[in-house]
């Protein structure tokens, strides 16, 4: 089911769906929109639909899904405070689903008082050799290297205490790959992980299913902002015209960056409107957006896309460099959520918090895969936009 009659009538109309190089779906119409209902915050950590998706994709009961989301919300709130508390000794942090707590890595020179403060705040501690600042500097040195096509991505990983480089499994012995790894090891502590395929943007042609179109490309909306929506940069160039699922004129790309970044925003006019909603595609109920607090690694996260609809997984890493054929893109977030061609630009959401817009990935939603997204807060900051929230 691509779109419910409920959405066609416009009640949940403007949301993000999506994918990578081409993804599309903008469930809005060109007629006047009804005033959206603004729900009040409640004790429930998420909508019934999102909880249902969590149960399906994580094999959880409803109570377990609710418990996990509440624990993740607490970890998300604690993460920036923990970084400030640890100071120069901060080594990174991640959500541990087994304990339901935020694990904070600190270097050996962290004082007893600092460790005590972190534990008192509810964090689990792990002692590591390298600080987050040291790992970020190491990754920045690797960023300056030119990577061959069979090197998929790399990231600073606090758990590994190293820069983790993803290499296509059957190309690990390729001479160019070996040369890159040798150069990377010369500049940084490196650990190699193998993957089945290299990352790529998920392009799709102009096919049916609530798309927005620019030229011959179909892409998905990411999140509503006041005055328009954000999406992936590889979907269109500045000033390119955008047409909705019904082929009516929506607006134009006001800004776009790809590669280096993968973000863009489109202004909305001509009878189109924005609401703080992510489309559930009839699989789950539509999800309200209430903010954009960054979910730490290990947190659950779900994606809405016009091709593959709703799928959930976890955040693998923040600030990862992805080596697309068009060029490297920096500071993406890595997830183990699947995606397919036509999902570009769509929304990643954790609970009711917007996380980012789909950039690229490998695999599919039948055999599995991994996906990266451009964090939404960077897009908002870059263009001076305000997220439309409930």
153 is annotated as an active-site residue? no
210 is annotated as an active-site residue? no
Q: Which of 57, 131, 166, 234 is catalytic?
A: 234
Do 353 and 276 form a contact (C-beta atoms < 8 A)?
Answer: no
Provide long-range contacts, Cβ within 8 A and 24+ apart, for 53-62: 53/283, 53/284, 53/302, 53/310, 53/311, 53/312, 54/300, 54/302, 54/312, 56/312, 57/302, 57/311, 57/312, 57/313, 58/300, 58/312
Q: CA-CA distance, 48 to 84, in Å (whole number)?
A: 35
CA-angle at 210, arms to 280 and 262, nearest 5°: 80
| Chain mean position to CA 372 | 6
Q: Which of 344, 347, 350, 359 is catalytic?
A: 344
Q: Tokens for 226, please give them.
A: 């006041």
Q: Which of 262, 286, 343, 352 is catalytic?
A: 262
262 is annotated as an active-site residue? yes
3-state secondary structure of 363: strand
Q: Tokens for 116, please give them.
A: 């005590």
3-state secondary structure of 17: coil
Q: How many CB atoms lie within 10 A of CB 80?
A: 13
Integer CA distances (angstroms), 351 to 133, 167, 243, in order:
29, 32, 30
Which are the catalytic amino acids?
A: 234, 262, 344
């Amino acid at each position: 089911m691509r779109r419910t009659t409920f959405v066609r009538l416009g009640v949940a109309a403007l949301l993000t769906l999506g994918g990578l190089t081409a993804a599309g779906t903008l469930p809005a119409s060109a007629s006047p929109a009804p005033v959206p209902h603004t729900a009040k915050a409640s004790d429930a950590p998420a909508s019934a639909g999102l909880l249902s998706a969590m149960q399906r994709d994580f094999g959880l009961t409803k109570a377990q899904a609710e418990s996990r989301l509440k624990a993740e919300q607490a970890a998300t709130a604690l993460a920036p405070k923990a970084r400030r508390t640890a100071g120069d000794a901060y080594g990174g942090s991640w959500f541990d689903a087994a304990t339901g707590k935020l694990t904070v890595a600190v270097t050996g020179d962290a004082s007893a008082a600092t460790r005590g403060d972190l534990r008192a705040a509810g964090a689990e501690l792990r002692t590591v050799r390298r600080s987050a600042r040291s790992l970020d500097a190491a990754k920045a040195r690797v960023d300056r290297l030119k990577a061959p096509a069979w090197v998929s991505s790399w990231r600073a990983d606090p758990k590994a205490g190293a820069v983790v480089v993803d290499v296509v499994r059957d190309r690990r012995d390729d001479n160019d790959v070996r040369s890159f790894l040798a150069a990377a090891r010369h500049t940084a502590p490196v650990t190699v992980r193998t993957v089945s395929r290299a990352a790529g943007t998920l392009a799709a042609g102009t096919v049916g299913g609530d798309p927005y179109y620019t030229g011959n490309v179909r892409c998905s909306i990411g999140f509503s902002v006041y005055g328009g929506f954000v999406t992936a940069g590889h979907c269109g160039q500045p000033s390119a015209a955008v047409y909705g699922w019904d082929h009516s004129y929506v607006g134009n790309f006001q800004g776009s960056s790809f590669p280096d970044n993968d973000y863009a925003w489109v202004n909305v006019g001509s009878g189109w409107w924005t609401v703080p909603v992510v489309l559930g595609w009839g699989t789950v109920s539509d999800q309200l957006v209430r903010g954009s607090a960054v979910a730490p690694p290990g947190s659950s996260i779900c994606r809405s896309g016009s091709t593959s609809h709703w799928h959930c997984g976890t955040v693998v890493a923040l600030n990862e460099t992805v080596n697309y054929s068009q060029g490297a893109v920096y500071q993406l977030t890595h997830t183990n959520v699947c995606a397919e061609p036509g999902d570009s630009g769509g929304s990643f959401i954790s609970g009711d918090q917007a996380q980012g817009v789909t950039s690229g990935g490998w695999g599919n939603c039948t055999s599995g895969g991994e996906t990266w997204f451009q964090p939404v807060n960077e897009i908002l900051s870059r263009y001076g936009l305000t997220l439309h929230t409930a």
